[in-house]
Amino acid sequence: MRATSKVLLASALLCAFLLSAGTLWAAPKISAATADPASVAPGGTTKLVCRLDDPEGLVQKVVGIVREAPDYVLAFTKGDDGTWVSTVPIPRGAAPGTYHVDVELADAGGKPIAPESGSSTAIAITVAGSEVVLPPAPRAADPAPELVTTEATTQSGARIVLRSPYRSYPNWYKGQMHCHTTNSDGQCTPAQLEAKYRQAGNDFLIITDHEQVTSDPAAESGSDVPVVVPGEERGTEEGHMIVVGLAGHLPSRPGQELIDQAVSRQGLVMVNHPEWRGGIYDIRELDRLVGYQFMEMCNGGESHERPWDYVLSKGHKYVWGVASDDFHGGPGDEVARCFIVVNAPELTAQAILGNLKAGNFYSSEGPKLDMSLTGDSLVVKSDQESTVTFRGRYGIPYLKSVITPGQMDWASYRFQGDEGYVRVEVERHSDRKHAWSQPVFVEMK
């Protein structure tokens, strides 16, 4: 009996402690989360107000994540009355529609705090205006650009057809295809951004602010800046896409509808950072989408080659790989860490767009890519010590070679005919930075 009494007493004390702990560390509750006004015109301002029941003062940080543009983070400030407020300017070019802000709480160390069940965790903001209603566009097909076609004979005597996106224009132009300004969630004004990329040696620039097309400030100032091609990053139901070459908004949210609308108006589309943040554009979604021209296979140094090789291997030909900064930084931050280099006859927006669509460019973190087709071989040259990897279906490495200037300044791969495609990846030994070619497609005749 004495042992039983001790067990009962210990259980009672444990229950009392747990109840006390539950009282001491009760989760904060978001009693109200509103926008004032809830409907605002482009160029206007709304105030987001979050009221917390947080007697222990656990919450030290409140942010809002725009569901349609997850990179766009809104900071809240605690007011004298204990409410948290965020003043949000609506860009003049913002597309009409309803946007959703998800409220997140954190402690002093930035550790997330889950609010009490039943809390108000979402705020809806309506950007007023007449949303453009476009007629349904025909479903886009996978692009089929005109490629440079040659025939060759393999070592085994088989006849093969090689289809390459690369021309032989004398000029190569460095450019950026994914960057942001203060018109969305970047820290540089458009003029500052253009100046930074000009100083970094860029010849052209595609500004891709969220949910709007940023106009070229140089058109008014007349300053010497890179050629600016219109672009816009759009939040879709599956993730993010960039639309290039169109000056106006396309309101579609489902990814395939956005592709269809853009392609029907001669726009180009890139799928951004696939497989990012636990499933944005996963393999199944990429397999269902058709008609886009580009995939961001390197985002600010983060590789996304696996999904790129996947769609190429599954028969979605002519999806070109893009390396980009996805730059959001300020005037003092580095740009052009990742870029593309386009082969074109002249430096005009039209020539850049045409050769982007054709795949006549390569992607890089710094190294130059010098590649050519010679008979039945793909030849790569370099004046720096590098490892060259020739990759095929699903990214399988068919051959690796080391280039050592002064001893062997080139590497080559001889086609067999059954590869499907071969692309080149160069790693520079001095800094481990990479460059990537577009695929050369191989067919048996």
Query: What integer is the mean pLDDT of 171-180?
Result: 97
Instruction: Give me the pLDDT at residue 127, please.
Output: 86
Is 392 inside a domain boundary? Answer: yes
Phi–psi pair at 436, nearest 5 degrees: -130, 135
Phi–psi pair at 299, nearest 5 degrees: -120, 105
Last residue within a domain, chosen from 69, 93, 127 = 127
Q: Among 62, 48, 53, 51, which residue's Cα sits nearest to residue 112?
A: 62
Is 11 inside a domain boundary? Answer: no
3-class SS of residue 262: helix
CA 288 to each of CA 142, 184, 285, 436: distance values in angstroms, whole numbers, following the listed order: 11, 30, 5, 25
Instruction: Give me the pLDDT at residue 194, please.
Output: 92
256: alpha, beta or left? (left if phi > 0; alpha if psi -120 to 50): alpha
Instruction: Give me the pLDDT at residue 211, please.
Output: 87
Is 305 inside a domain boundary? Answer: yes
Judgement on whether residues 116 and 152 belong to the same structural domain of the protein: no
Query: What integer is the mean pLDDT of 73-99?
Result: 85
Judgement on whether residues 115 and 173 belong to the same structural domain of the protein: no
Asked if 208 contacts 183 with a C-beta cutoff of 8 angstroms, the reply is no
Residue with tokens 């908004």: 249
Judgement on whether residues 100 and 155 belong to the same structural domain of the protein: no
Higher pLDDT, 14 or 254: 254
Residue 246 carries which side chain, given as an amino acid letter?
L
Instruction: Give me the pLDDT at residue 219, please.
Output: 59
Quote the CA–CA distance of 391 and 400 in Å, as a whole number: 9
Quote the CA–CA distance of 148 and 165 in Å, as a whole number: 6
Judgement on whether residues 271 and 160 belong to the same structural domain of the protein: yes
Is 8 inside a domain boundary? Answer: no
3-class SS of residue 244: strand
Is 136 inside a domain boundary? Answer: no
**Mean pLDDT over the full length of the chain:** 88
Is 134 inside a domain boundary? Answer: no
Asked if 294 contacts 322 with a C-beta cutoff of 8 angstroms, the reply is yes
Alpha helix segments (H runs only) across 314-430: 349-357
**Confidence label for 11 from pLDDT (cuts 50, 70 and 90):** low
Judgement on whether residues 349 and 208 belong to the same structural domain of the protein: yes
> Which tens digits make up the pLDDT trace of 33-44?
999 999 998 888
Q: Average the pLDDT over each of 217-221, 228-232, 278-282, 332-336 and give the range with the smallest value.
A: 217-221
Instruction: Give me the pLDDT at residue 225, please.
Output: 60
**Confidence label for 254 from pLDDT (cuts 50, 70 and 90):** confident
Judgement on whether residues 230 and 120 belong to the same structural domain of the protein: no
Instruction: Give me the pLDDT at residue 279, please.
Output: 47
Question: Which residues face 175 on adjacent strands?
Answer: 204, 340
Judgement on whether residues 114 and 174 belong to the same structural domain of the protein: no
Instruction: Give me the pLDDT at residue 90, please.
Output: 85
% the chain with pLDDT above 70: 90
The CATH number of whichever domain residue 112 belongs to comes to 2.60.40.4140
Does the pTM surpass 0.95? The reply is no
> Which tens digits make up the pLDDT trace of 93-152?
677 778 889 999 999 888 999 999 888 889 999 888 755 667 778 888 888 888 999 999
Exposed (0-12), middle (13-18) or buried (19+): which is 322, by Cβ within 10 Å? buried
**Confidence label for 17 from pLDDT (cuts 50, 70 and 90):** very low
Quote the CA–CA distance of 33 and 51 in Å, as a whole number: 6
Instruction: Give me the pLDDT at residue 20, please.
Output: 45
Question: Which residues neighbour 332 within 8 Å (Cβ) at sequence distance 6 or greater?
Answer: none
Is 18 inside a domain boundary? Answer: no
% the chain with pLDDT above 90: 63
Asked if 319 contacts 331 with a C-beta cutoff of 8 angstroms, the reply is no
Characterize the bridge pairing of strands 204-207 and 171-176.
Answer: parallel
Quote the CA–CA distance of 425 and 397 in Å, as a whole number: 10
Judgement on whether residues 292 and 156 belong to the same structural domain of the protein: yes
Q: SS3 letters for 188-242?
A: CCHHHHHHHHHHCCCCEEEECCECCCCCCCHHHHCCCCCEEEEEEEEECCCCEEE
Supply 297's token pair.
């296979």
Number of neighbouring beta carbons within 10 Å of residue 147:
20
Is 41 inside a domain boundary? Answer: yes
> Which tens digits make up the pLDDT trace of 357-403?
999 999 999 999 999 999 999 999 999 999 999 999 999 999 999 99
CA 229 to each of CA 156, 253, 268, 318, 348: distance values in angstroms, whole numbers, following the listed order: 47, 23, 12, 21, 9
Preceding omega of 331 cis (within 30 degrees of 0): no
Query: What integer is the mean pLDDT of 242-248?
Result: 91
Judgement on whether residues 45 and 192 belong to the same structural domain of the protein: no
Domain that holds residue 54: 26-127
> Which tens digits make up the pLDDT trace of 342-363?
999 999 999 999 999 999 999 9
> Which tens digits make up the pLDDT trace of 203-235?
999 999 998 899 877 655 555 568 999 999 998
The CATH number of whichever domain residue 330 belongs to comes to 3.20.20.140
Last residue within a domain, chosen from 97, 127, 157 = 127
Last residue within a domain, chosen from 71, 94, 127 = 127
Q: At 401, which helix (H) or strand (E)?
A: strand 397-403
User: How many domains does the chain divide into?
Assistant: 2
Quote the CA–CA distance of 38 and 49 in Å, as a whole number: 11
Judgement on whether residues 337 and 436 belong to the same structural domain of the protein: yes
Judgement on whether residues 63 and 164 belong to the same structural domain of the protein: no
Judgement on whether residues 372 and 291 belong to the same structural domain of the protein: yes
Higher pLDDT, 17 or 406: 406
Supply 344's token pair.
């074109």
Q: At 85, which helix (H) or strand (E)?
A: strand 84-89
